[in-house]
Structure 1
Amino acid sequence: MGEQEHEHLVRWCREFAADVEEAVTVDAASWADTRFAEKRYTFWETPDSTPVSMAGVNLAVAGMVRADPVYTPSHLRGRGYAGAVTVEVSRAALAAGAEEVVLYTNAANPTSNALYQPIGYVRVTDWAAYDFAQAVPEAGD
């Protein structure tokens, strides 16, 4: 991947993180320390080679590959690009020997949920993250 493609990837991962309200800094300096660095990415491009969507996948673990992130800039949404790139990375993972391809989506996002079911993904469960930070007593307490 060339420098221009890498800059594009970093920018789209930063935009994705902002869209899903993920508290992470994604820039060239922090890239290696983010969860985004450990993935392989596919850009979906128009016939003139303009990237319009992307999807990342983790390396297979116990026969399972996770597709994440799937991102299309807001001004390009609604044209089927995210569905196309998701189909492609899923197909490629299965062709490479993955037994399962999974992805996470926001259960409250009807657009992404409507996208993934017709291409073969099945809703399995809901989950939530909780942070049970322990309060540190102040001096004198």
Structure 2
Amino acid sequence: MTWSFTESAAAFRAAAAGHLAADPARNTAVLTLMDTAARLGWWEEADGRVTGVLAVSPPGVPAFGAVTEEAARALVLPGGEQPTEARGETAAVEAYAEATGRPWAPTVRMRLFRLGEPTPPDPAPAGRARLATGADVPLVAAWTREFAVAIGDEPAEDYAGFVGERISEGRLWLWEGPDGCPASMAAVSRTIEGQARVHLVYTPPAERGRGYAAGVTEAVSRAAAASGAAQVLLFTDLANPTSNALYQRLGYRPVTDHLGVTFTPVTR
């Protein structure tokens, strides 16, 4: 039983294809990271079955997909690399963190949801959903920066390329308020192994409380399903009961809980 690692997405797909396809929802983070990850890994049982996967994204943060606790406890990154963070399903991350023997603390607790029967928001918000266009890039890039700050991430200098890619591929939607001006946004990942994940759901503070986030999330979710995603997923922060309740009203149902941790330096 051992971990193997590669920098090649093609080699990773060849080794772990069966495991990835068996449960694309639980492997959603790895599936969406694998083409840009710095390193990819898979855990093989003694009989050759792959029962765990992970993606290490810059700056060296391992993200577990579906993985056994045994595999998580056995993880040692190549070169003895000591990550400062880790994330994935709660049981796996806790097993890994405890096995390192390093001090650690939880930073975020998430819940993965999967869309069941799509349910329109009731009452319906005023306005309408539309696909974002190239003309929306400056506004959406500014909102993306605000979103990053709001969730505690270090914002990038420029999000034009990030949002431009999603817009050009028809994966970013806006909600226009009654005045015809954009008031909320949501994006969806590319569909991989039949799963797509809604993300970047953001409403500027001045536009909140009007149901716009519900409207745009429902629109992007339906669009993802209509384009061929058998499973439409999203993550919520468990510390935000409002968003958790909202997504369940739209037809999303819990799959599994996730945990993010940071490792704290040992003081002497």
Return the TM-score normalized by structure 2.
Answer: 0.45
Q: Is the 8 A contact 2:175 2:185 kept in 1?
A: yes
Partner of 1:51: 182
Displacement of 1:132 after TM fit?
4.4
Equivalent in the alignment of 1:19: 150
Match of 1:83, as an amino acid?
A
- Where in structure 2 are there 5+ consecutive unaligned residues? 1-132
Q: What secondary structure, in the 3-state scheme, does the structure 2 residue paired with 1:48 have? A: coil
> Alignment partner for residue 246 of structure 2, among 103, 106, 115?
115
Q: Which residue of 2 aligns with 1:126?
A: 257
Larger gyration radius, structure 1 or structure 2: 2
Tell me the distance in 2 between the aligned counterparts of 1:26 and 1:64. 30
CA distance in 2, matches of 1:26, 1:85: 26
- Which of 103, 112, 116 is residue 234 of structure 2 equivalent to? 103
Secondary structure of 1:6's match?
A: helix
Alignment root-mean-square deviation, CA: 2.0
Q: 1:111 Cα deviation (Å)? A: 1.1
Runs of 4+ in 1 over 6 A off after TM superposition: none
Question: Which runs of 5 or more residues in structure 1 are unaligned?
Answer: 136-141
Normalising by structure 1, what TM-score?
A: 0.82
The CA distance in 2 between the partners of 1:111 and 1:11, in whole Å, is 24
Which residue of the other structure, out of 134, 152, 157, is the alignment partner of 1:2?
Answer: 134
**Cα distance, 1:123 vs structure 2:** 1.8
Which residue does 1:79 correspond to in 2?
210
AA in 2 matched with 1:2: G
Identity of aligned residues (%): 45
Structure of higher RCO (CA pairs closer than 8 Å, 6+ residues apart):
2
Query: Retained in 2: the 8 A contact 1:38–1:58?
Result: no
CA contact (8 A) 1:10 1:26 kept: no
Q: Write the distance in 1 (CA, Å) between the matches of 2:241 and 2:262.
A: 26
Instruction: Please give the per-residue CA displacement for 1:25-64, whole angstroms capped at 9, x wherever unaligned.
Output: 1525xx43x5x56532101002332001000111101011
Hey, which of these two has a bigger chunk of strand by percent?
A: 2
CA contact (8 A) 1:65 1:102 kept: yes
Q: How many residue pairs align between the two structures?
A: 130
Q: Which residue of 2 aligns with 1:64?
A: 195
